[in-house]
């Protein structure tokens, strides 16, 4: 009922995610394949050049995505890279796509520069509750994350912020994450809910998988607490059955990452998603079905 008051229940927003800078991150996030702290087989690479990113954005638009999200495995954005990224944003906007970036922590002047280039959204997840956070990340604090979100909001960018469930946290921690997100003012326009994809070589490589119904409940509570936000099924969607995904949409999810890869982990392919949408009577928000 909450979902239907604020959204068309049969429309789902489609976003495509491209890793524009892989590996080599100095952070120690215990779930992450891109950390230099763990041996996961992911090699550090340089920032993709402008033409490569534009070609990927063109492909995403052709496949039906309305938003193009770009992620770099950095602890924080360096000033020397701001102009390169601003040019990439301009290219994505020239294609008529919404543009989102996740580049780690950033300052207010950096956020202003990206906003001036046309960036629509900035993603910076809180990951989990403040109480559980220190068991997952030690290289920067929960306050650092909140400060970055404040810089993003103050620059006039839309906020994309969510978390990861299945890290070994309790239901209370999942509720705490959603409570913190819901008390941001204003609330995030986009809330990605990730289901942990265990990666061999990370400290969470053998953690027990979260029960699918617990994940669906998390989606439902996110929808009730943040009625106007887009709640996105993000990493881990491949581990859900079609029926599990259907229940997530029924519970209030109305956005997905669309494509065959999320950073370094798999994702359902375009055609599989199209078939599922057809079976459920769903269509892409914006008409690009």
For position 187, what pLDDT does the model report? Answer: 97
Q: Which of 54, 67, 69, 145 is labelled catalytic?
A: 69
pTM: 0.88
pLDDT along the chain (289 residues), means of 10: 94 87 78 78 80 90 85 87 94 93 94 96 95 92 94 96 95 97 96 90 87 96 97 88 94 83 50 88 66
Catalytic residue among 100, 174, 223, 237: 100
Phi, psi of 14, deg, nearest 5: -110, 125
The question of whether 248 is a catalytic residue gets the answer no
How many whole angstroms separate alpha carbon 218 and alpha carbon 232?
A: 12
Whether 69 is a known active-site residue: answer yes
Q: Which of 25, 174, 237, 248 is catalytic?
A: 25
Q: Which burial class, exposed, middle or buried, applies to 238 when counting CB atoms under 10 A from its CB (0-12, 13-18, 19+)?
A: middle
Establish whether 160 is a catalytic residue: yes
Task: Based on the residue annotation, tell me whether 100 is a catalytic residue of this protein.
Answer: yes
The burial of 128, by beta-carbon neighbours within 10 Å (0-12 exposed, 13-18 middle, 19 or more buried), is given as buried
Look up residue 206 and give its two tokens.
């053998």
């Amino acid at each position: 009922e909450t979902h239907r008051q604020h959204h068309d229940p049969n429309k789902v927003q489609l976003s495509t995610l491209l890793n524009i800078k892989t590996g080599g991150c100095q952070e120690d996030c215990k779930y992450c394949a891109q950390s230099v702290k763990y041996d996961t087989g992911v090699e550090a690479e340089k920032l993709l050049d402008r033409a490569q990113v534009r070609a990927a954005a063109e492909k995403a638009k052709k496949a039906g995505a309305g938003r193009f999200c770009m992620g770099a495995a950095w602890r924080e954005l360096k000033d020397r890279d701001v102009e390169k990224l601003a040019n990439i944003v301009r290219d994505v906007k020239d294609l008529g796509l919404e543009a989102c970036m996740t580049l780690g922590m950033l300052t207010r002047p950096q956020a202003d520069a990206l906003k001036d280039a046309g960036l629509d959204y900035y993603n910076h997840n809180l990951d989990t509750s403040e109480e559980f956070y220190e068991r997952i990340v030690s290289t920067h604090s929960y306050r650092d994350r909140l400060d970055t979100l404040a810089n993003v909001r103050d620059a006039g960018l839309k906020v994309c912020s969510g978390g990861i469930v299945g890290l070994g946290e309790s239901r209370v921690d999942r509720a705490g994450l959603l409570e913190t997100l819901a008390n941001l003012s204003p609330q995030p326009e986009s809330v990605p809910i990730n289901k942990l994809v265990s990666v061999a070589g990370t400290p969470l490589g053998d953690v027990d998988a979260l029960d699918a119904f617990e994940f669906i409940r998390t989606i439902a509570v996110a929808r009730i607490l943040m009625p106007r936000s887009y709640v996105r099924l993000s990493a881990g969607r491949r581990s859900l059955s079609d029926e599990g995904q259907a229940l997530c949409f029924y519970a209030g999810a109305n956005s997905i990452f669309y494509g065959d890869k999320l950073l370094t982990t798999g994702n359902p392919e375009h055609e599989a998603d199209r078939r599922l949408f057809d079976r459920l009577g769903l269509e892409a928000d914006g008409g690009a079905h």
